[in-house]
Structure 1
Amino acid sequence: MVDSYDLDESLQTIMEWGKYEAAAYRVLVRYGPLEASEVVVRADIPQGRVYDILNNLHSQDAVVKQGVQPTNWDAQNPRKLIEPNQRRFEDMAVEAIEALEPAYDLNLESESHPAWVTTGVAAASVKARELFEQAQERIWILERTFWLSSRDKDLLQSKAEEGIDVRIVGWSGRQALQNVAEEIPSAKFREADKVDTSFYVGDEGTVLINLNQGDTGMLFHDAGTAKIFTEHFASIYESANKVHA
């Protein structure tokens, strides 16, 4: 059975919610109609934030109000709420394949194919760490979920201290972004309002695309592919807001 933390993380990713919206919705599904004060206790939400959180969920048709003085809040059907976003993620996966496949096909006849696919969190994290370790000039990270381990964060901090250009852009909806910024204080952190995927750009045309919250990685050693992602990262980084550790 999925624990509360993992479920909240999934809701944040799928619904693009903050941690309090995810927790509030989860407890309303679990316990049924509740007053705001009960949501505060069960979801561990600050008292001063609860009405903003519930009203935000209400504006997205994720919860409904029942009665007045007191008002009860109840969750909408999870399947009807989540399935449209599930289809959106599936559409994003199809679009990514369609965008990347031509580059893959162009290199099929080369003696050494420039792309590898890794499956499983362990394999994907190993490839990411290899990219970090081998970098001598830059490590540019666009990250939606921040599944990086303590070892990865220590490595990034060490690289940044060596003078390597370590830049990280995260999704502003993730509370974990501030925590990571504090753990890698020498890196340049920014937050963006919208981050649809995760990828890492290293030296000499190396790019690792991270899919499914670290479960699958697509690694490219190809200058043309790297240029596309480098330009995309630079555009997002330029418009993102600074995060101060």
Structure 2
Amino acid sequence: MVNGYGLDESLQTIMGWGKYEASAYRVLVRYGPLEASDVVVRAEIPNGRVYDVLNQLYSQDAVIKQGVQPTKWDAQNPRKLIEPNQRKFEDMAVEAIEALEPAYDLNLESQSHPAWITTGIGDTSTKARELFERTESRLWILERTFWLSPQDREIIQSKAENGADVRILGWSGRPEVQELAEQMPAAKIREAEEVDTSFYLSDDGAVLINLNQGDTAMIFHDSSTAKIFTEHFKSLYNSASEVHPDA
């Protein structure tokens, strides 16, 4: 999966946009309806340019306006926007759609449920640790990057030792999977060849989705949302391979 800046470059090539248009669209897909002032901060666009950028996207039907005073801007569906250019830029278009569409769908789902966003690795790690510490009966972790700190691992191991159902599913391309099995023998650890995101499920209704290798997180406290992620985790976990500590 491409990162934010790589995705911006793909959008510039596919859509013929400048860097500010690409950045603004990516941010609106990820965070949903935003005021222009929020786009300035999240997309790193000069304050004096933001309305020109948003109006340019609006003229191309890439974004829509919602309300007045304040006006909010929202992204159009990335698949419908990008697919007409797919033949010309097949590989980049597919990659961009796959990177953007899950965030877009997740944003639609989250608009009807309580949700919070944290930015910065420090805030994300703090919220994740709070989630781990509050766990009583279940902690399921789907992890691609394994940025978990030693303190996080100690907490998770303690929860498993005290009877919580701790399951960790990692990407087999990361050597840290074996390390976790050795550091947390009480947890049930498996690995899969395809892990394209990271999220954590704690008890009933609590979900933290880790984006951008810990730089951004979305936090939900909603049983219906948690059920969606629970079923996704189960489908991956049941077909994954068990990882045991080295003897």
TM-score calculated relative to the size of structure 1: 0.61
Letter in 1 for 2:109: A
Note the residue ranges of structure 1 that are not aligned, 5 or more in a row.
Answer: 1-9, 15-83, 108-113
Structure 2 distance, partners of 1:127, 1:88, is: 33
Structure 2 distance, partners of 1:189, 1:146, is: 13
Note the residue ranges of structure 2 that are not aligned, 5 or more in a row.
Answer: 7-89
Q: Say whether 1:98 aligns with 2:109.
A: no
Structure 2 distance, partners of 1:243, 1:103, is: 33
The number of residue pairs the alignment matches comes to: 160
Letter in 1 for 2:132: F
Q: How far does residue 202 in structure 1 lie from its aligned partner after superposition?
A: 0.6
Closer, same or farther: CA 95–238 of 1 in aligned 2, 3 Å = same
Letter in 2 for 1:103: E
Partner of 1:148: 148
Structure 2 distance, partners of 1:210, 1:172, is: 18
Task: List aligned pairs for 1:76-87, cutoff 5 A.
Answer: none
Q: How far does residue 224 in structure 1 lie from its aligned partner after superposition?
A: 1.0
Structure 1 residue runs of 4 or more that deviate by more than 4 Å after TM superposition: 84-90
Partner of 1:234: 234
* Cα deviation code 1:105-156 (max 9, x no counterpart): 324xxxxxx1001111111111111111111110000000100000000000
Structure 1 distance, partners of 2:91, 2:239, is: 26
Partner of 1:177: 177
Partner of 2:192: 192
Structure 2 distance, partners of 1:86, 1:115, is: 31
Task: Among all aligned residue pairs of Structure 1 and Structure 2, give the percentage whose two residues are the same amino acid.
Answer: 57
Closer, same or farther: CA 175–152 of 1 in aligned 2, 3 Å = same
Q: How far does residue 218 in structure 1 lie from its aligned partner after superposition?
A: 0.5
Q: Say whether 1:127 aligns with 2:133.
A: no
Closer, same or farther: CA 87–117 of 1 in aligned 2, 3 Å = farther
Letter in 2 for 1:240: A
Q: Secondary structure of 2:105's match? A: helix
* Cα deviation code 1:182-211 (max 9, x no counterpart): 111110000001001000001120000011
Structure 2 distance, partners of 1:95, 1:127, is: 25
* Cα deviation code 1:82-122 (max 9, x no counterpart): xx988766433411222112222324xxxxxx100111111
Closer, same or farther: CA 144–86 of 1 in aligned 2, 3 Å = farther
Q: Say whether 1:204 aligns with 2:210.
A: no
Structure 2 distance, partners of 1:87, 1:207, is: 30
Q: How far does residue 180 in structure 1 lie from its aligned partner after superposition?
A: 1.5
Letter in 2 for 1:124: T
Closer, same or farther: CA 94–217 of 1 in aligned 2, 3 Å = same
- RMSD (CA atoms): 2.4
Letter in 2 for 1:242: E
